[in-house]
Every structure is written in structure tokens, then in C-alpha cells.
Structure 1
Amino acid sequence: MPSIVDVERAVQKNPRRWLVTGVAGFIGSNILQRLLELGQVVTGLDNLSAGHLANLDEVRSLVGPEAWSRFTFIKGDIRDPRTCAAVCAGADYVLHQAALGSVPLSIEDPVEAHGSNLTGFLHMLIASREAGARTFVYAASSATYGDGPGLPKTEDMVGEPLSPYAVTKYANELYARVFNTLYGMRTVGLRYFNVFGQRQDPNGAYAAVIPAWFAALINGDSAVVNGDGETTRDFCHVDNVVQANLLAALSLDDAAAGEVYNIACGRSTTLNELYRFIQNEVAALVPAAAQAKLEYRDFRPGDVRHSLASIDKAQQRLGYAVSVDVEEGLKRATPWYVKRLSKVHV
């Protein structure tokens, strides 16, 4: 089984054309950065409803002008089939990250979630198939497991969905499997588990817990948790997700297609433990954070109590290996958040 190092060396020698949807978002911009570092030609699509041009500006500053010249950005929406057809034309690989990614927002507006996550997804599948893309890799979600009690989660387990978001993500997998079987189209789903890292947006009512806590601790605000803090999650640094997308796209194993894979660290962390990790890292740069207390509120509708992934299938079939654990990921993320969020120079 080729390692990510082997795969990256091979693709550097033979550059390909890639499409990344949701390219201005947290995960999409990290994928873009790595592809450009590897000498690839990339088209990116984003409607900027959740993504930010500042993320693309940061990538440009990091990769340099030569690499940046190989990137084309298109502002557009996956709910428009003509846009999907245009951006897929000529793409060897499609990495589909665009989605409405908030469980609470999907509960408030299920029609919007359906449009972005299901209708838009189907448009992208059709456009990728018609363009002759070699592989369609898409962001699936651990929300698919719903309320199933068994741990760790293996890919054959599906619980009762707890939100419209979870319904759309499970439907994505069903559509992708049908396209693989019916049309011979290579599709690979990656069930992300609580991804975190640089460029994850701390602003807005639906910010994920890690960037929200970074922002609170850095700026002296109250850090809030829904529930008693003993809820567990399998937190996964974004570098692991970037690796998984490349491995999934470039796999030469026919048996790897038409499948979904857990992308996580295979480790359970309580929210109380997570808060202490983040607080310790931030306090090293912003000493006042050491005195901050966590504020406990009611549990949030639609949230799963415990989550832990088995990553055996991804390891065996894709060659996936955890390169960044939770503590190392938080160490990497802390300077990024402090630099961008601190009200004082650090």
C-alpha cells in the first residue's frame, strides 16, 4: 500500500488538473494549499457563503506567485448545474467539499441544507461524470452515525439521523454508491470526524467548538459548552483530512471506489479535556487565559453524545495514517488563532 509520501512524489512528477469545491473554506483552502505546493493545477469553486477570500489570500502568501499562477478561482454555486458543468470540464479529479456544514442551521432551515447538500451534490456528481473525471472524492460526515450507541463507529453502522444535515450527508453516500455501481464512476466518501485547525472560522453563531474557544480564551470572553463537558468527540486535525483526500483520489485499487471511510484519529476526547488542552496552549501566549472558566449550558438539539471512529478501513484500503494527533494539532493551531484574534500584539 503506497504511503502519502509515495503518492505525493508520484503526483509531483506527473501534475494533474484538480477541482476543489468550497475552496475558500476551512478544509478546501488547506487542500488547495497542499495541491499547489505539489505543483498541481487547480480550479476552485466557492459561493463565499461560508468561505472567505482571506483564506485564499493566505494560501497565496504561503505558496508564492509561481504556484498561485496555477490556480483559478470561480465564484459560483453548486446549486447551478451550468456552473458545475463549467468547473468540472477538464478536471482529472474532483474534491467536493462545498456544503452547508452546520447542524443547528440545518434544523432552522432544512430547505437550505437540502439545496446545498443534496441538490448541489447531485449536480456535482452529474457534472463530474459527464466531464470524465477519474475520481470524485466527497466530504461525508460522522453525523451519518446518528444516535447509534456502538463505539467505535465502523463504516457499516448507520444510526437514526438527528438532523436534516445528517439526512443530507447520508443521502450523499447513497447517490455516490449508485453512481459508482450504475455508471462505473469512481466515487469515494470520507466521513470526517470533528475536523479542526488553521483557518477554521471562529465567528458566527454556529462556529465549531475549537475555534469558538480559541476566540474566547484569546480575547477574555466566556467560553461556553453545551452540556456537562463529558460529551466525547474524535477530533481530527485538518492535515489528516488533506492527506485522506489525496490518497482517496489517487488510489489505484478498484476495490477502494464506491466506498466510504472514517477520517479521524481513532481517539476519544471529552470536551472538558479539550478545553484544558486549548487553555494550556493559549495561556502560554496569552497568560490571562489561564484564569478563564468554562461556562456550562443546556445540551443542544441534534448533537450526538459520544463519537469515536474506527479508522481501520481507511488504513487498510487507502493507506491512511494519522500524521497529527489532537495535542500536536492544537499546538499548530494556537499561533494562527492568536495572531489573527488577539486584541493585543503577542
Structure 2
Amino acid sequence: MSKYLVTGGAGFIGSNLIEKLVADQNEVVVVDDLSMGKKENLKSIDDRKLTFYEKSITDYEFMEKLLVSENFDYIVLLGAVASVADSVENPYATHLINQEANINIYEVVRRNKLKVRKILMASSAAVYGNNPVLPKKETSSIEPLTPYAIDKFASERFAMIYGRLYNIPTVATRFFNVYGPKQNPNSPYSGVLSIIHNCLVNDKTFTVFGDGEQLRDFTYVDDVVSAVRLLLETEDVKWDVFNVGTGSTVTLNEVIKAFEKAMGKKLDVIYADERKGDIKKSYADISKITETVSYKPKYNIVSGLAAYIAKQ
């Protein structure tokens, strides 16, 4: 049994990860201010193995006391303002959460010489920007288009450099368009697939920003959880960054058709101008994580949507 800290653990990815960790008899502490996550995402999890703090990761005094007193084996940094649009509207406020709060955690570990087995920092495919060279490899050019992407890349670099300089085992993941159960369709930060699902269920109109031909690597959350655990638990993997996706692509228009087929009803769609900062084409080269920790995604868009719909 190991002890985990998961920041942002009441969110979509965090709650799915925690479900698996607790099922394997691990002890988990969650820090989440519930600005994006929902406590009900954790309600089905054995609370004998789960401790929840409704706190912001920018509460540095609280975070230091927690980290020093609990002596965690693993730290998973999922706490973030996950909205690109919000980072454009409020760049400094999101910066404090998306970068500064993570640096504080690395610094607390360094200053107190905490014996952490691994820190995993969740980054994003947004760091690659709109460079037309595809698929995106970890060595591809970094061209962030928004404050969100800048903060994600900077947090990666801090994780890697702190790790090497102070011998802290760190690793970072670049997630590609994750979807699945517990994603909140009413949140302005929500992934597009949960919004499509919600529109279909409730007979609402769905707005496509642009022509719908955006290429994406939609990744089912169970595959993401699998990748995170492999990177955390493989001891000699450290000071490196890994794409987490499926390695395949689908357009938004194709996703809409797949959803309609899976649910047996038509989606009311309108098209609007594309949004500032949105990326046109993105998908992952996952050969690095596949070769390093034998990660193999189990879900394509059809099987992933089926699993997602079944759990709603």
C-alpha cells in the first residue's frame, strides 16, 4: 500500500484515477477547491482510504504543512484551471494556479528533503501550438499560443530541472483531449465530448467553433489513468516528458456522427467562428511511452464512446 496526494482530485481525471488507486488498497489525500471539480465525483470511493481537503493549492502554508506531515509516496499534480479561454481572459490569476502553485510543491519537497518516490505533473498537448508538423512528438517544436499553454510548459520545465538538480524523481505527461465519465458538461472548462453528450441527452443545440474539421486525438480516461500509473510506478522513469494519447485522429464532425450512431438520435448543430487560441490539428506520437513503460491504449473512439455512454 502507498500514500498518494492528488491535487485537483475531485475533477474528472483525478476522480477516475483515485477510484483505481483506492480499489488497489492505496491511501489517497485529495486537495481541491471545488472551483472545477465536484465532491460527488468521489462519493462512490471508500472513504476509509480517502481524505479530502477543500483547499486551494495556492494556500502555500497549508500545502507545506500537509506535505511535510503526510510524507507522501507519490504526488500527482492535476490541480489547474483547465480552460484555455479562461487563461486568455485572466492570465495572471490562472498563472498562480497553473504554474506558481506547482513550483511551490517542488520547492517544499526540495527544502524539506522529502523522500517522494515520484511526482507526476500533468501538462497538455496545448504546448505544441499550431505547428503543422504531425504527429506531435515530445521533441516537436513548442509553440504555446495562450497563457494556459505557457504555464503548462513552464511547469514541465520546473519539474524536470528541480528533479535533476535536487534528485527529486519527477515526470510529466502531455494529455491529448481526454474524455469519459465524471466530466462536467455544464462547466465552462469541460471537454467537448461531454458537451456533445449533454446536448444529445437534453435535445440542446451544440455549437461547433470553426468548420468541425479540427483533428483531435480523443483519449478515453481509463487509458490516461493506465498511463499515469505506469509512469508513477516504474521507478527508473524520471526527469522526462511523455505524450499520452491514442496515436490516432478523428475530426469533430466524425465524432458527432459517431455519437449520433451510438445514441440513435440526431444532434442539432450550428457552426460559429473559430475561437482565438484554438488549435486546428493535433494528435500524439505515443511511441516513447509505449516503448518506455509498455503503455497500450485499449480504446478507440467507438469503444471509448460506448464505455462513456454506458457509465452515464
Q: TM-score range by the shorter chain?
A: over 0.9
C-alpha displacement of 1:94: 0.5
Contact 1:145–1:159 (Cα < 8 Å) also in 2:
yes
- Report the equivalent of 1:185: 168
The CA distance in 1 between the partners of 2:168 and 2:107, in whole Å, is 10
Contact 1:261–1:314 (Cα < 8 Å) also in 2:
yes
The CA distance in 1 between the partners of 2:40 and 2:109, in whole Å, is 28
- Report the equivalent of 1:31: 17
Q: In the alignment, which of 192, 207, 216 is matched to residue 199 of structure 2?
A: 216
Distance 1:291 1:274, change over 3 A: closer
The CA distance in 1 between the partners of 2:193 and 2:4, in whole Å, is 30
- Report the equivalent of 1:112: 93
Contact 2:83–2:188 (Cα < 8 Å) also in 1:
no
Contact 1:80–1:123 (Cα < 8 Å) also in 2:
no
Q: In the alignment, which of 143, 149, 158 is matched to residue 132 of structure 2?
A: 149
Counterpart AA for 1:311: I
Correspondence list, 1:331-346, <5 A: 331-337=306-312
Count of equivalent residues: 308
User: Tell me, what secondary structure is at the counterpart of 1:160?
Assistant: coil
User: Tell me, what secondary structure is at the counterpart of 2:311?
Assistant: helix
Whether 1:292 aligns to 2:271 is no
Q: In the alignment, which of 213, 220, 225 is matched to residue 230 of structure 1?
A: 213
The CA distance in 1 between the partners of 2:34 and 2:211, in whole Å, is 34
Whether 1:46 aligns to 2:29 is no
C-alpha displacement of 1:112: 1.5
C-alpha displacement of 1:319: 2.0
- Report the equivalent of 2:79: 98
Q: In the alignment, which of 291, 296, 300 is matched to residue 325 of structure 1?
A: 300
The CA distance in 2 between the partners of 1:270 and 1:128, in whole Å, is 42
C-alpha displacement of 1:335: 3.2
Q: 5+ residue gaps in structure 1?
A: 1-14, 61-66, 284-289, 338-346
Contact 1:81–1:127 (Cα < 8 Å) also in 2:
no
C-alpha displacement of 1:182: 0.7
- Report the equivalent of 1:315: 290
- Report the equivalent of 2:256: 275
> What are the superposed Cα offsets for residues 140-180 of structure 1, whole Å, 9 maximum, x if unpaired?
10001012221010001133211110000010111011111
- Between structures 1 and 2, the one with greater helix share: 1
Counterpart AA for 1:282: M
Please report the RMSD computed on the Cα atoms of aligned residues, expressed in angstroms: 1.3
- Report the equivalent of 1:75: 54
Q: 5+ residue gaps in structure 2?
A: none
- Report the equivalent of 1:264: 245
The CA distance in 1 between the partners of 2:109 and 2:14, in whole Å, is 18
The CA distance in 2 between the partners of 1:97 and 1:44, in whole Å, is 10
The CA distance in 1 between the partners of 2:64 and 2:186, in whole Å, is 32
Distance 1:51 1:267, change over 3 A: same
- Report the equivalent of 2:158: 175
| The 10-residue stretch of structure 1 (209-218 or 322-331) with the greater mean CA deviation from structure 2 | 322-331
User: Tell me, what secondary structure is at the counterpart of 2:260?
Assistant: helix
> What are the superposed Cα offsets for residues 121-151 of structure 1, whole Å, 9 maximum, x if unpaired?
1112223443321110111100010122210
The CA distance in 1 between the partners of 2:106 and 2:300, in whole Å, is 33
Q: In the alignment, which of 89, 100, 106 is matched to residue 125 of structure 1?
A: 106
- Report the equivalent of 1:5: none
Counterpart AA for 2:266: Q
Whether 1:21 aligns to 2:7 is yes
Q: In the alignment, which of 222, 227, 231 is matched to residue 239 of structure 1?
A: 222
Contact 1:147–1:159 (Cα < 8 Å) also in 2:
no
Distance 1:227 1:183, change over 3 A: same
C-alpha displacement of 1:336: 3.3
C-alpha displacement of 1:103: 0.3
C-alpha displacement of 1:282: 2.1
The CA distance in 2 between the partners of 1:302 and 1:225, in whole Å, is 15
TM-score by length of 2: 0.95
